[in-house]
Amino acid sequence: MNLRLQALRQCFPAALLLAALSVSALPAQDLPDGPAKSDLKVVCTKCHDLNQVIARRRTAVDWGMTVDKMITQGAQATDAQFSAILDYLIANFRKPINVNQASAKSLEDELELTTTEAEVIVAYRERNAAFKSLDDLKKVPGLDPKKVDAAKDWVAF
């Protein structure tokens, strides 16, 4: 079997999955600047159109699983490049997490909270009304307001 056919077979499942996603309004040439912008273009476009890669915002955990999946399907890059690509995707195409619906584990993973802090948020929202703002979230006893401020771009209500 020729190399081109092998590459197509290797990339087809990922390309099919990503083709099902809606196409992003952000043209590939307008990607935000960042240390892994060029790595993203080189590594990911071997199998798919770049707009398919960034078509849907994902949580940090979902981006990690997506990059892992691409690695298992044969994407070629160094560990440092994959790490930089993941950081770039999370920084630029991350989906905020809804603190009124997320599990404690999701809050912990996505907002870099301790297990105790995440559990306190869930318990507080179950005893009280849904959070409506960052100020409401900062009122949770045992939660460091500095961590809330640090995560403000990744919190949805």
Tens digit of pLDDT at every position of the chain (157 positions): 444 434 444 544 444 334 333 334 445 458 999 999 999 999 999 998 989 888 889 999 999 999 999 999 999 999 999 999 999 999 999 999 999 999 999 999 999 899 999 999 999 999 999 999 999 999 999 999 999 999 999 999 9
Largest CA distance in the chain: 63
Q: Does residue 122 sit in helix, strand or coil?
A: helix
Residues 6+ apart with CB under 8 A from 8: none
d(CA 66, CA 96): 17
Residues of the chain with CATH 1.10.150.280: 97-156
The CATH code for residues 97-156 is 1.10.150.280
